[in-house]
């Protein structure tokens, strides 16, 4: 007993510190572990870029936040095809028709010199019924022309055939439809795809006999510009694209 009481006070303090510090560390460790899942499922880590935040929100299917972030990114870089595709693909996951229309129109109105594979795939997604339902007819035809340029002819033809089945739309948008068909017809003939060219020829003959006469003889003697000029002459009486825009397209 005398040996214990003879131990200096500083030795007791040091021993207490040695015992308390590990216990304090063990007490804090579960709390830090509990915070980790919350951080993983909640906000992205502080300092994450806007793109990382948008990607993280998409992964968690927080579509409203993801589309808002991607729209902000697109507004900063309106000609970036990767951001445009990401914005549209995120909007496609949601149910907000206004956001879907905004993302689709930004894609359709952006000219890209060298289309990427991702851009091609995204334009094919634009041809889905869900998107076409949100697009005004003028923009559906713009999409068909873009698909023709991307050599996605089957998707373009589906849009055109749906329009041709409606007599009112066929009359109102005859010039634009004929332009698309003549573009397809010329491409097929020049590439020796006679079966596909004949299918387009039959559509022109059935719905636009005057336009069919321009391209029907031998498209090799007509440049695309001369074909388009001929179609514009045939349908000179139709209103311009800007005149055809209704309230839904504004």
pLDDT in tens, the chain (250 residues): 444 455 565 555 555 554 444 444 443 444 343 334 333 344 555 546 999 999 999 999 999 999 999 999 999 999 899 999 999 999 999 999 999 999 999 999 988 778 889 999 999 999 999 999 999 999 999 999 899 888 888 898 999 999 998 889 888 888 888 888 888 888 888 888 888 889 888 888 888 876 544 444 343 334 434 333 333 332 333 333 343 334 444 3
CB burial string 169-185: b at 16+ within 10 A, e below: beebbbbbbbbbbbbbb
Look at residue 36 in the predicted model and tell me its pLDDT: 40
Domains of the chain by start residue, with CATH:
49-135 (1.25.40)
pLDDT at res. 151: 85
pLDDT on residue 83 = 94
Q: What's the pLDDT at 186?
A: 87
Which residues make Cβ contacts (< 8 Å) with residue 242, sequence separation at least 6? none
* pTM score above 0.75: no
């Amino acid at each position: 007993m005398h040996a214990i009481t003879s131990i200096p006070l500083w030795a007791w303090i040091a021993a207490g510190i040695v015992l308390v510090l590990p216990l304090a560390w063990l007490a804090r460790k579960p709390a830090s572990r509990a915070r980790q899942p919350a951080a993983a499922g909640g906000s992205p880590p502080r300092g994450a870029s806007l793109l990382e935040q948008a990607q993280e929100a998409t992964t968690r299917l927080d579509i409203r936040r993801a589309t808002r972030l991607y729209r902000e990114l697109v507004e900063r870089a309106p000609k970036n095809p990767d951001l445009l595709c990401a914005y549209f693909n995120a909007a496609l996951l949601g149910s907000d028709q206004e956001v879907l229309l905004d993302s689709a129109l930004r894609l359709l109105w952006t000219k890209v010199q060298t289309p990427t594979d991702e851009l091609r795939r995204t334009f094919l997604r634009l041809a889905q019924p869900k998107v076409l339902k949100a697009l005004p007819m003028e923009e559906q035809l713009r999409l068909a022309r873009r698909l023709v340029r991307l050599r996605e002819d089957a998707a373009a033809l589906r849009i055109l055939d749906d329009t041709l089945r409606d007599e009112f739309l066929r009359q109102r948008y005859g010039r634009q439809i004929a332009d698309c068909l003549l573009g397809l017809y010329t491409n097929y003939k020049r590439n020796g795809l006679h079966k596909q060219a004949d299918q387009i020829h039959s559509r022109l003959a059935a719905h636009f006999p005057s336009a069919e006469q321009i391209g029907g003889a031998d498209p090799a003697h007509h440049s695309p510009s001369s074909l388009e000029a001929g179609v514009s002459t045939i349908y000179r009486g139709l209103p311009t694209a800007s005149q055809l825009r209704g309230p839904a397209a504004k």
